[in-house]
Amino acid sequence: MTAGSRGDVAPYTGLAHRLAAGGHSVTVVTHASFAKLVTASGAAFHPLPVDPRAELESARG
């Protein structure tokens, strides 16, 4: 599980790629906006229930 910007998520996709290439089953849990980045690495994707950009733009943010 990782959250944040692309710079926070991308290192995990590199790790996921190497693990998947080694025959491991890998799932990365992060924001929905990174779904394509994650699946391109060969990992499965599961979305976090919160969109950080929407939260920052909300009355609570």
How high is the pLDDT of residue 5? 87
CA dist list (Å): 55 to 13, 16, 31, 50: 24, 27, 12, 8
Q: Please give the pLDDT value at position 61.
A: 57
pLDDT tens-digit readout, 2-61: 888 899 999 999 999 999 999 999 999 999 999 999 999 999 999 998 877 777 787 775
pTM tops 0.85, yes or no: no
